[in-house]
Amino acid sequence: MTASNTPESRPKTLVVHYSAHGHTRRVAETLTRALRADAFVLTPAEPYSEPDLDYNDPRSRVSREHVDRSLRHVPLVQDAPDGFTDYDTVLVGYPIWWGEASWVLGDFVRNNDFTGKIVVPFCTSFSSPVGASARDLAALAGTGDWKPGTRLEVSTSADGVRRWLEGLGVAA
């Protein structure tokens, strides 16, 4: 076995995600299995209920947060997994809310140092593209080698994951 194939020298990959309705979770689980990566779920300290997520109701939590940016600070139960500094590659998944990354990602991105890490954002949405969401997260982080964001379908296969990452120049 060559040194580059030993478990100790293999890059450590982490798949981080927040999922409002389960779509991003399903993609994150596919990525985690395909890459034999570790997983970390972003959990709001005050979880969103189904009524909170009803973007058609102007009184819902997400609608109020959308209108009033000062309400978008969403504290997390834990900002990062133990040993975050040991990861070389971090895939960050989120739903698109009004053309933006779910603001649940804010504290995770702001409160962690991505220096020396490759960061690969991905989103899920039925119709919205990734837009500027990945660039916005990279700007919020201020550190790390952020790759372009990609919108992934819930039905993305393990082979599709590998092709996507190879296209970005990220070892899978």
Domains of the chain: 3-166 (3.40.50.360)
Burial 21-46 (b: 16+ CB within 10 A, else e): eebbbbbbebbbebbebbbbbbebee
Contacts of 47 (CB under 8 A, 6+ apart): none
Among 120, 79, 102, which Cα is nearest to 20's? 102
Q: What is the mean pLDDT of residues 104-129?
A: 93
pLDDT of residue 5: 40
Q: How confident is the model at residue 11 (pLDDT cuts 50, 70, 90)?
A: low
Percent of the chain's residues with pLDDT above 90: 73
Among 18, 47, 12, 50, which Cα is nearest to 122's? 18
pLDDT of residue 9: 56
Q: What is the mean pLDDT of residues 17-44?
A: 94
Q: How confident is the model at residue 8 (pLDDT cuts 50, 70, 90)?
A: low
